[in-house]
Amino acid sequence: MGSGLPSDAYDLLPAGAVEHWATSGERFGDHVADQLPAVVPWFDELRDHGMSEIEIACAFARIVRLEHEQWLGLIELIETPDGGAIVVELDPFAELPTLSA
């Protein structure tokens, strides 16, 4: 952790954001501390575990993507007893009514 560019960085973030968080030295999350104060301690914990700012930005983008997919009804997140989660893909077409001619 902390040294490389995540393999999915360009899938998660615009190219300019990847370059910024990989090289700027700015702390990810400081720009959203007022709007999302609950996530700032999580960012600090990730830093304490050796994650770089680009890795933290990508981790946050993954969470936002999962939340969006859950909201769209594409996945369901099931929490496990150990605090983890399992992602279950849902079939969005399973609920659509069939049309008959």
Show the tokens assigned to 53: 């700012």
44-71 core/surface letters (b: 16 or more CB in 10 A; e: else): eebbeeebbbbbbbbbbbeeeeeeebee
- Average pLDDT estimate for 37-52: 91
- Model pLDDT, residue 57: 93
Show the tokens assigned to 35: 């709007």
- Model pLDDT, residue 62: 93
pTM of the prediction?
A: 0.75
pLDDT in tens, 66-75: 888 888 888 8
Distance CA 79, CA 50 (A): 25
- Kindly indicate the confidence band of residue 89, based on its pLDDT and cuts at 50, 70 and 90: confident
Distance CA 70, CA 21 (A): 27
